[in-house]
Amino acid sequence: MAKKSKQQRRLEARRKKQTQQRVIIGAVLVLLAGIAAFLAFSNRSKSPEALASLSAEEAAALPVAPQLGARAPDFTLQDVDGNPVSLSQLSGRPVLMMFFHTW
C-alpha cells in the first residue's frame, strides 16, 4: 500500500473537519427548531404575570395539574438540614425548583 502524500493527508483532514462542522451545525439547527416548536405549541393558558396577581382564593380554585396555568401538586421534601418542607407551606412565595441528574 502506497503512502499518502502530505497534501493528501491535509486534504483528508480538512474534509473530515468540514464534515464534523456540518454535523454540529445541523444538530444545533434541529435543536433550535425543536425549541421553537415547543414554544409555539406549548399550553400557555395563563401568563406568569397573571398567575402572580391571583388572590389566595383564586389560586386555591385553580385545578391541580402538572401544566402551566394550574396549581402544582403538593409534595413534601427534606431541606438541607433534614427538616420536611411541603410546597403548600410556601404558598404565596416564589419557589424555584431545580431538577438535575448525574450519571
Tell whether the model's pLDDT for residue 101 goes beyond 80. no
19, three cell numbers: 464534515
Cα–Cα distance measured from residue 21 to residue 97, given in angstroms and rounded to the nearest whole number:
36
Whether 95 maps to a domain, the answer reads no
For all residues of the chain together, what is the average pLDDT? 80
How many domains does the chain divide into?
A: 1
Whether 98 maps to a domain, the answer reads no
Whether 52 maps to a domain, the answer reads yes
The residue ranges of DSSP E strands in 12-100, in sequence order, are: 76-78, 84-86
Smallest Cα–Cα separation from 72: which of 40, 49, 94? 94
- Higher per-residue pLDDT: 79 or 100: 79
Range of the domain at 51: 8-72
Question: Residue 7: what residue type?
Answer: Q
Whether 97 maps to a domain, the answer reads no
* Region 43-72 average pLDDT: 68
Tell whether the model's pLDDT for residue 12 goes beyond 80. yes
Whether 79 maps to a domain, the answer reads no
Evaluate whether 84 touches 76 at the Cβ level (below 8 Å).
yes
84, three cell numbers: 420536611
